[in-house]
């Protein structure tokens, strides 16, 4: 399957290649777009760094935002980082895709990296394809394995098959990397130099923002670990029957295990859980040490988001549910009886 020089060339009008493209790829060098939140570097950036190091060549991290000093310092300490670029401007404060993509494209055009990587998260999947369009190349999404600088493995058909794709043509390779497929790079041991992007690069971000404007956000604060980074995840499906049951019953089990709470698409569509808790192909991809699926049938799109979990426990009243085909342990029965029994046994074990 040919990507970067195939489909895109058929779909767009012919035009002169840029000077950057006609020169071909330079020697290997990788730019990683950092994801951060609340002044802290997100762990999925460390996983992306491992993918970047697998490519070979120096690795540069781009930290974009406002008031990002602590994030830049954390990125500079990560093992394997050669340098850190910072872009500090109010237009980048909330991670809007338009200015971030404009900045990313400008940095690539000015500095000529052979590869540009971002985590395959909501943030990365929002920014990188836009930057690829600005650079006139085809992005490769959800990379699981790097075979060589031009050849990558990614899932297709909701994770039921793996495709080996080769990026053809000129220009940089832009990839979103599935964090669960790569070990996290050590967060310490590095001492990279930190420098600010040029005024022209920052201007590109400001201009790309256009009419995009940050309005507000609705943040739900929780003492539970973040879904994408949790070691234990408890997910519920439509079989919980109501939002109240989802919150109380699933929440109680999650609190006992110190787990994050997830949801199937059916539970989200039914209004039992907010969209940011959805696990699956159209939600978040998780790979915890323990994944407990409560009242989830095991639809393909959900399995695509959690099948990499180390241990999977399924609780379902339907013994023929597809979820049992991938589960390491299964409890077949009424979840409204099994969950209280499981919670009671966990309470005894803690005594």
List, in order, residues 6 or more apart from 348 with CB less than 8 Å away.
none
List, in order, residues 6 or more apart from 241 with CB less than 8 Å away.
none
With 70 as the cut, is the pLDDT of residue 18 above it?
no
CATH number of the structural domain 30-208: 3.40.50.620
Which tokens belong to 203? Answer: 């201007």
With 70 as the cut, is the pLDDT of residue 346 above it?
yes
Find the angle CA(309)-CA(226)-CA(224) to the nearest 5 degrees: 105
| Numbered ranges of CATH 3.40.50.620 in the chain | 30-208
Express each pLDDT in 23-65 by its tens digit. 344 589 999 999 999 899 999 999 999 999 999 999 999 999 9
Read off the pLDDT band of 266 (50, 70, 90): very high
Q: Indicate the burial class of 22 (C-beta count within 10 angstroms; 0-12, 13-18, 19 or more).
A: exposed
Residues that constitute the known binding site for FAD: 238, 264-265, 278-282, 295-302, 316
Beta bridge partners of 64: 87
| Numbered ranges of CATH 3.40.50.1220 in the chain | 232-350
DSSP 287-346: --SEEEEES----HHHHTTTTT-SEEEEEES-TT-THHHH-SEEEES-HHHHHHHHHHHH
Express each pLDDT in 180-235 by its tens digit. 899 999 999 999 999 999 999 999 999 998 888 888 877 667 778 888 889 999 99
Please tell me the predicted confidence (pLDDT) of residue 219.
Answer: 66
How is domain 232-350 classified at the architecture level of CATH? 3-Layer(aba) Sandwich (3.40)
Burial 324-341 (b: 16+ CB within 10 A, else e): beebeebbeeebeebbee
Please tell me the predicted confidence (pLDDT) of residue 225.
Answer: 87
Q: Which residue has the higher pLDDT, 24 or 173?
A: 173
With 90 as the cut, is the pLDDT of residue 336 above it?
yes
Tell me the average pLDDT of the chain.
89
Express each pLDDT in 150-172 by its tens digit. 999 999 887 778 999 999 988 89
């Amino acid at each position: 399957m040919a990507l970067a020089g195939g489909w895109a060339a058929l779909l767009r009008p012919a035009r002169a290649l840029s000077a950057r493209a006609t020169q071909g790829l330079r020697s290997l060098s990788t730019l990683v777009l950092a994801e951060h939140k609340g002044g802290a570097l997100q762990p999925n950036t460390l996983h992306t760094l491992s993918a970047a190091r697998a490519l070979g060549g120096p690795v540069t991290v781009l930290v974009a935002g406002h008031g990002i000093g602590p994030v830049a310092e954390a990125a500079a300490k990560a093992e394997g980082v050669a340098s850190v670029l910072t872009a500090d401007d109010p237009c980048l404060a909330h991670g809007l895709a338009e200015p971030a993509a404009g900045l990313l494209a400008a940095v690539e055009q000015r500095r000529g990296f052979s590869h540009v990587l971002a985590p395959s998260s909501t943030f990365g999947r929002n920014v990188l394809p836009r930057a690829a369009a600005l650079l006139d190349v085809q992005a490769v999404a959800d990379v699981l394995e790097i075979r060589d600088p031009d050849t990558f493995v990614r899932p297709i058909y909701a994770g039921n098959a793996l495709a080996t794709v080769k990026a053809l043509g000129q220009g940089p390779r832009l990839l979103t990397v599935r964090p669960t497929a790569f070990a996290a790079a050590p967060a310490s041991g590095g001492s990279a130099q930190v420098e600010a992007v040029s005024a022209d690069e920052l201007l590109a971000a400001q201009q790309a923002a256009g009419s995009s404007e940050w309005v507000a956000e609705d943040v739900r604060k929780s003492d539970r670990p973040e879904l994408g980074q949790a070691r234990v995840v408890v997910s519920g499906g439509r079989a919980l029957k109501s939002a109240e049951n989802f919150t109380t019953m699933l929440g109680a089990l999650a609190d006992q295990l110190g787990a994050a709470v997830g949801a199937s698409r059916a539970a989200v569509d039914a209004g039992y859980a907010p969209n940011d808790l959805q696990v699956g192909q159209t939600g978040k991809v998780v790979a915890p040490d323990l994944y407990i699926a409560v009242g989830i049938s095991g639809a393909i799109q959900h399995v695509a988001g959690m099948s990499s979990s180390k241990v999977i426990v399924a609780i379902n009243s339907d013994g023929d549910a597809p979820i049992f085909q991938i589960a390491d342990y299964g409890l077949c029965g009424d979840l409204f009886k099994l969950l209280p029994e499981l919670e009671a046994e966990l309470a005894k074990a803690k005594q």
